[in-house]
């Protein structure tokens, strides 16, 4: 039976564009074809990168296509005239050979007489693969050390972020240089080892933050505005802005929401250089859980965005929770209670939804259809104003009563309650569990009184009242921030709140309502069925309430 012929491909390359019309490419092709013919291989394709260097960071389209087709199993062997036509540096060569070995593709160099199709050649390829793994692991370790040291020195790693350039104006090859940057062709601003602000791109970064901080726009909205924006500098220079791209990887073009999002999270813009270490050094596919802590170092580059604006933008992104989208001509819908609102019937989260331009809060169990619940959609404005009224009343009442605030009296009341609990426990009026609850309450009360900062509470109350007064003119994201300052969790049944859990900061302002419990306010055996909160529900208990719950 005749053995199947090997499918071979050739790869040829020249590094200088003036060699394209010379004899180098033809000479390489002849040697490749002769070798394939001598071994009775079928040469099915010839890949050519003309006028492109084989240095480490060069992008070679033909080579990239070759490796892609190798992975797809379209051929069995790669033939080159000389190894340096394939790669000029060891790391790249060893990596490529290791990848080809993984694809079950052999490699042949005519001039060096390297033939990995023979048994001894395959053994040599396996050995080279092992050496490649050792070499590359060591190289990655050294590279990681080098990158961290650069970060410690305030220098960037990789491509310069949008908004910066290397300052080599006289020899600029950046996409946003010629016919775009007003400094193109002028004397160099630096030696290329540090970054300066790009006169156009830095203004783009400022616009992205400025528009986002307006609080009523999405990443996609900002990208659309940038794509239609013409920037005019103070000296009258005008240009239609564009995304910069990176030579050999991406071309200049339109802004996308991903461009905007990636810009918003770069601490580089406040003059810091980040370095994110990995627990698995050298891993090409490090999982999020395997990442180490972010280290920040003072950069040698100028800041474009102030730390205050960067922090405000981060808070807005956190409050939004996701990239809100615009529907038609309606603005971005923001739901201040999403994330802290729960159903008082089934305990599910309650999320914001919109219908015909109106905002509602709806049980997520009904949205996701995980189970049925009697909770219906509720107008968002009504719920938010109810909660706002409760926050305002508590803040106002606390401010009016703060002058007669007597911490010592509260301590005496707590001690009196504890003494009464001891008596009831000894007389058998309350169980051991209830006594333990009272003891825990007493200890928490003393701790809270000892840790109470009246000035901080006064400042918080005043800030909240100021925010409440300006509610109608406040941005939606700022409203969300205000509500979350006071409320950790809220529970609704129908269109009304049935339980509220204040934040630690707001708890001192909350006026606790009394209940018809036993003497001293302590719940006795007979009170269990009347005062067990949500535990009387026939379906399932809520697990969201942990402490300091205020029942309305």
Cα–Cα distance between 31 and 81 in angstroms, integer? 6
| pLDDT for residue 247 | 62
* R_g (Cα) of the chain, nearest Å: 34
Residue 383 or 536, more confident: 383
Strands of the sheet containing 358-363, edge to edge, are 350-355, 358-363, 378-379
Dihedrals φ, ψ of 489, to 5°? -150, 145
Q: Tell me what the mean pLDDT of segment 264-292 comes to.
A: 66
Q: Is residue 334 part of a domain?
A: no
DSSP 349: B
18 and 49 share one domain = yes
314 and 358 share one domain = no
- 291-298 and 341-343 beta bridge pairing: unpaired
- 41: domain range? 7-146
Residue 123 or 455, more confident: 123
Q: Is residue 231 part of a domain?
A: no
- Helix H or strand E encompassing 355: strand 350-355
| pLDDT for residue 320 | 65
351 and 269 share one domain = no
Q: Is residue 152 part of a domain?
A: no
Helices 201-212 and 307-320, packing angle to 10 deg: 50
CATH of the domain at 189: 3.90.1750
Angle at 374 between CA 373 and CA 375, to 5 degrees: 90
Q: Tell me what the mean pLDDT of segment 33-44 comes to.
A: 93
Cβ proximity of 273 and 155 under 8 Å: yes
Strands (E), 120-192: 164-165
Token digits of residue 244:
């910069």
Q: Which residues, 6+ apart, have CB-to-CB distance to 214 below 8 Å?
A: 475
Q: Tell me what the mean pLDDT of segment 351-370 comes to.
A: 85
Token digits of residue 103:
């694809």
349 and 451 share one domain = yes
137 and 182 share one domain = no
| Residue 546, pLDDT above cutoff 50 | no
Q: Is residue 327 part of a domain?
A: no
- Confidence band for 332, pLDDT divided at 50, 70 and 90: low
Cβ proximity of 89 and 55 under 8 Å: yes
3-state secondary structure of 243: strand
Q: Is residue 403 part of a domain?
A: yes
| pLDDT for residue 327 | 47
Burial of residue 499 (CB within 10 Å: 0-12, 13-18, 19+) is buried
196 and 285 share one domain = yes
CATH of the domain at 114: 3.40.50.1390
Of 544, 491, 551, 489, nearest to 516 by C-alpha is 551
Residue 106 or 547, more confident: 106
3-state secondary structure of 419: helix
| pLDDT for residue 451 | 54
Domain final position from 270, 286, 320:
320
- Token pair 């693969």 in the structure block, residue: 129
Q: Is residue 520 part of a domain?
A: yes
Cβ proximity of 93 and 63 under 8 Å: no
Calculate the dihedral angle through the C-alpha atoms of 311, 313, 314, 318, rounding to the nearest 10 degrees.
140
- Confidence band for 549, pLDDT divided at 50, 70 and 90: very low
3-state secondary structure of 350: strand
| Structural domain count of the chain | 3
| pLDDT for residue 237 | 92
How does pLDDT run across 406-432, given as a tens digit for each residue? 565 677 788 888 888 888 888 888 888
307 and 419 share one domain = no
Residue 306 or 510, more confident: 306
How does pLDDT run across 500-525, given as a tens digit for each residue? 889 888 887 785 544 444 444 444 44
Cα–Cα distance between 435 and 441 in angstroms, integer? 10
Q: Is residue 426 part of a domain?
A: yes
494 and 378 share one domain = yes
Q: What is the 3-state secondary structure (H, E, C) of 247-283?
A: CCCECCECCCHHHHHHHHCCHHHHCEEEEEEECCCCC
Helices 219-227 and 201-212, packing angle to 10 deg: 140
Largest Cα span, the chain:
108
- Token pair 């009831």 in the structure block, residue: 424
Q: Is residue 335 part of a domain?
A: no
- Confidence band for 328, pLDDT divided at 50, 70 and 90: very low
303 and 370 share one domain = no
Cα–Cα distance between 377 and 80 in angstroms, integer? 69
Strands of the sheet containing 487-493, edge to edge, are 341-343, 487-493, 496-502, 550-551
Of 457, 481, 456, nearest to 468 by C-alpha is 481
Cβ proximity of 419 and 373 under 8 Å: no
127 and 181 share one domain = no
Cα–Cα distance between 217 and 264 in angstroms, integer? 13
Q: Tell me what the mean pLDDT of segment 106-124 comes to.
A: 79
Cα–Cα distance between 65 and 47 in angstroms, integer? 8
How does pLDDT run across 65-87, given as a tens digit for each residue? 999 999 999 999 999 998 878 88
CA 400 and chain centroid, separation: 43
Token digits of residue 506:
């707001």
3-state secondary structure of 407: helix
| pLDDT for residue 230 | 93
Residue 119 or 231, more confident: 231
Q: Which residues, 6+ apart, have CB-to-CB distance to 60 below 8 Å?
A: 13, 49, 52, 54
176 and 128 share one domain = no
Q: Tell me what the mean pLDDT of segment 41-67 comes to.
A: 83
Please report the DSSP string for 21-39 in residue order.
Answer: TSSHHHHHHHHHHHHHHHT
| Torsion 398-403-405-407 (CA) sign | positive
| pLDDT for residue 9 | 96
Token digits of residue 198:
């790009």
Of 285, 278, 507, nearest to 391 by C-alpha is 507
DSSP 188: P
Cβ proximity of 221 and 326 under 8 Å: yes
- Confidence band for 453, pLDDT divided at 50, 70 and 90: low
CA 275 and chain centroid, separation: 15
Q: Which residues, 6+ apart, have CB-to-CB distance to 26 below 8 Å?
A: none
424 and 502 share one domain = yes
């Amino acid at each position: 039976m005749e053995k199947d012929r090997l499918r071979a491909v050739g790869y040829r390359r020249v590094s200088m564009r003036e060699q394209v019309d010379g004899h180098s490419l033809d000479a390489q092709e002849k040697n490749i074809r002769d070798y394939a013919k001598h071994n009775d291989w079928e040469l099915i394709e010839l890949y050519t990168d003309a006028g492109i260097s084989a240095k480490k960071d060069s992008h070679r389209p033909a080579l990239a296509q070759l490796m892609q087709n190798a992975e797809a199993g379209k051929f069995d062997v790669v033939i080159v005239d000389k190894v340096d036509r394939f790669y000029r540096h060891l790391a790249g060569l060893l990596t490529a050979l290791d990848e080809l070995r993984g694809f079950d593709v052999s490699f042949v160099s005519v001039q060096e007489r390297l033939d990995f199709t023979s048994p001894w050649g395959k053994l040599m390829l396996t050995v080279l693969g092992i050496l490649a793994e050792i070499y590359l692991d060591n190289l990655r370790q050294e590279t990681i050390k080098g990158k961290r040291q650069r970060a410690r020195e305030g220098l960037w790693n990789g491509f310069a972020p949008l908004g910066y350039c290397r300052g080599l104006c006289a020899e600029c090859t950046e996409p946003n240089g010629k016919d775009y940057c007003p400094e193109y062709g002028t004397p160099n601003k630096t030696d290329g080892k540090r970054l300066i602000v790009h006169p156009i791109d830095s203004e783009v970064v400022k616009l992205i933050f400025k528009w986002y901080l307006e609080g009523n726009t999405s990443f996609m909205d900002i990208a659309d505005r940038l794509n239609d924006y013409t920037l005019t500098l103070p000296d009258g220079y005008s240009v239609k802005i564009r995304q910069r791209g990176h030579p050999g990887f991406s071309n200049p073009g339109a802004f996308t929401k991903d461009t905007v999002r990636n810009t918003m999270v770069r601490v580089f813009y406040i003059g810091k250089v980040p370095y994110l270490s990995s627990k698995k050094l050298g891993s090409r596919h490090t999982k999020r859980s395997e990442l180490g802590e972010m280290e920040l170092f003072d950069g040698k580059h100028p800041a474009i965005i102030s730390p205050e604006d960067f922090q405000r933008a981060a808070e807005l992104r956190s409050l939004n929770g996701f990239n809100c989208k615009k529907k038609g001509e309606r603005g971005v819908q923001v739901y201040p209670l999403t994330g802290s609102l729960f159903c008082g019937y089934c305990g599910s989260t309650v999320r914001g939804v919109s219908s015909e331009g109106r905002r509602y809060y709806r049980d997520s169990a009904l949205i996701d259809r995980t189970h049925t619940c009697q909770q219906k959609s509720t107008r968002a404005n009504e719920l938010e104003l109810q909660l706002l009224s409760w926050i305002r009343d508590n803040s106002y009442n606390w401010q009016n009563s703060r002058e007669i605030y007597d911490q010592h009296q509260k301590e005496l009341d707590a001690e009196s309650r504890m003494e009464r609990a001891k008596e009831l426990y000894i007389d058998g009026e309350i169980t051991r569990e209830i006594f333990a609850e009272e003891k825990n309450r007493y200890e928490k009360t003393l701790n809270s009184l000892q840790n109470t900062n009246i000035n901080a509470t006064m400042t918080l109350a005043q800030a909240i009242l100021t925010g409440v007064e300006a509610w109608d003119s406040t941005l939606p994201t700022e409203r969300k921030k205000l509500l979350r300052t006071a409320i950790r969790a809220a529970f609704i049944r129908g269109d009304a709140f049935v339980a509220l859990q204040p934040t630690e900061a707001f708890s001192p302002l909350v006026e606790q309502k009394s209940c018809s419990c036993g003497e001293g306010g302590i719940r006795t055996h007979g009170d269990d069925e009347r005062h067990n909160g949500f535990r009387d529900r026939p379906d399932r208990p809520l697990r969201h309430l942990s402490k300091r719950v205020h029942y309305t």
